[in-house]
Structure 1
Amino acid sequence: MALKFELVTPEKLLRSAEVHMVVVPGADGDFAVLEGHAPFMSTMRDGEMIIYATENAEPEKLSLNGGFAEVNEKGLTVLAEQIS
């Protein structure tokens, strides 16, 4: 089972993939999203997002500057203001 993950900036869709887990720098603290997570929406603070392609994979880390994250029945969508 995998989480449908999309990473979007104002310029374009950067990634659309199935992953194991994503750790997001939420405004009130980091939160991890796995498949089946309860729906919610959060603003993001500047920080590091960590993407785990598979359960035992080496994580990929991306620095982002603000934005929003939405979890729904389709998966996780991260709308980042900027990826650096």
Structure 2
Amino acid sequence: MALKFELVTPERLVRSEDVHMVVVPGSEGDFGVLEGHSPMMSTIRSDAAVEIYASEGAAPERIAIAGGFAEVNDKGLTILAESVG
């Protein structure tokens, strides 16, 4: 099973790939998203990092982001970040 993940800024599409899990730094706490997650939206904390797990048991890749929104729907997870890096 794979989760469709996209990371987008106002300037460009940063990532678009199938992954195992993403841990999102929500404004009310971190939450993990796997394929089949219930639909939801959340704001993202400023000066935080997204953790991307390419496969089960893999070490996470961390990407620093600054604010934005996360949307989980039946197509996957999209993070709209104010900035990346």
TM-score by length of 1: 0.97
Provide Cα deviations, 1:56-80, integer angstroms capped at 9, x if missing partner.
2221001110000000000000000
Partner of 2:72: 71
Distance 1:44 1:56 in 2: 25
Partner of 1:33: 33
Give the paired residue count.
84
Aligned residue identity for 2:5: F
Runs of 4+ in 1 over 3 A off after TM superposition: none
Does 2:4 align with 1:10?
A: no
The gaps in structure 1 that reach 5 residues or longer are: none
Distance 1:41 1:63 in 2: 19
Provide Cα deviations, 1:23-66, integer angstroms capped at 9, x if missing partner.
00001000000000000000001211100000122210011100
Does 2:44 align with 1:44?
A: yes
The gaps in structure 2 that reach 5 residues or longer are: none
